[in-house]
Amino acid sequence: MRSNDLPEDVRNLITDHIESVEQLEILLLLHQHRSRVWTADSVARELRIAPISAGERMDELARASILSRTQGSPVEYRYAPGSPSLDAAVTGLARAYSERRVTVINFIFSKPVDKIRTFADAFRLRRDDDDNG
Amino acid sequence: MTMADAVFMLCALTSFACAVLLLRGYARNRVPLLLWSSLCFVALAVNNVLLVVDLIVIPGRDLLTIRHASALVALALLVFGLVWDSE
Amino acid sequence: MNEFLSGTIFALCCVAGLFFVRFWRKTRDRFFGFFAASFFLMALHRVVLLGLRGSDEHVVAAYLIRLLAFVLILVAIVDKNRAPRK
């Protein structure tokens, strides 16, 4: 199965915003229950992952204008894409993941270290979504 | 300091800021392109500083060749990095 | 010698500009568009300097081009840090 089979907007969505399968599953969970408000703890319980990790992934998605984040204790998130095309891409991603799970996972892990993007990213002053170490 | 000096110092500071940001990026990612381009901006900063110096020391047209050399080094480093390591 | 150096710098600025245009097309990130414009302006700066040959009155215009080139880089950085992540 080749990743070229995936629709272009889905591929762009993954390239731009999806770093891990965990993040993908969190996004699809909130997309599936789009009217519901979630917290890091409720997501962690649902997906059986660590709450801190869930919170960080959702913060990243909120910065990408895919989720909305409401400050408070606890912090609340819900699915709130910034544009209709983004919504369509996430819907496409949900469909692709249900039909071609392996293809999607392979695509996430085969993202090359994009040198050009790292050039542009170097100029981001706020480096609070650091990956690796 | 005249207006022109202030302008060129701004250019020098901008170059230097770019160099710092790119070096920080290289420290995190080890992508060689970032190293070459940061060195480019260091040399561009030097070039702008030399320009200010040249304007102050008025009869010193001697600096022209060094200024050109610094700009040449800057661009050569950048283009080398772009050609060698941008994909 | 100086003109040769200046000409080489001009050519290299154009090449760098072209690379940034390619990155702009590939990533659809206008950050690279600003950088491309900046380096093309640096190239233009070299051409204008060549036409000056020491006459002072147009030196200001020439160096305004250089200033604009660096201002564009600043704009690129500010724009990247203000716009939501694409």
- For residue B60, the 8-state DSSP code is -
Comparing CA positions, the residue from A60, A58, A59, A78 lying closest to residue A68 is: A78
Rounded Cα distance, C69 and C43, in Å: 10
List of chains touching C (3+ CB pairs within 8 A): A, B
DSSP C24-44: HHHH--HHHHHHHHHHHHHHH
Domain holding C37, by residue range, is 2-82
Please name which of A95, A121, A104 lies closest in space to residue A23, comparing C-alpha atoms.
A104
pLDDT at A127 over 80: no
All domains of chain A in start order, with CATH: 3-121 (1.10.10.10)
Domain count, chain C: 1
Between helices C59-82 and B3-29, what is the axis angle to 10°? 40
Residue-wise pLDDT for A58-115, tens only, equals: 888 888 889 999 988 888 999 989 889 899 999 999 999 999 999 898 888 776 667 8
Q: Enumerate the residues of chain A whose CB falls inside 8 A of the CB of residue C81.
A: 123-126
Distance between start and end Cα atoms, chain C: 46
Q: What is the distance between the alpha carbons of residues B20 and B7, in angstroms, rounded to a whole number?
A: 20
Pairwise CB contact (< 8 Å): C81 & A116: no
Q: Which among C2, C23, C70 is the nearest to B68, CB-wise?
A: C2
Within 8 A by CB and 6+ apart from C83, the residues are none
Q: Report the mean per-residue pLDDT for chain A.
A: 84
- Looking at residue A131, what is its pLDDT? 41
Q: What is the DSSP string of B13-51?
A: HHHHHHHHHHHHHHHHH--HHHHHHHHHHHHHHHHHHHH
The pTM of this model reads 0.67
State whether C67 and B14 contact (CB < 8 Å). no
- ipTM of the complex as predicted: 0.86
Distance CA C75, CA C64 (A): 16
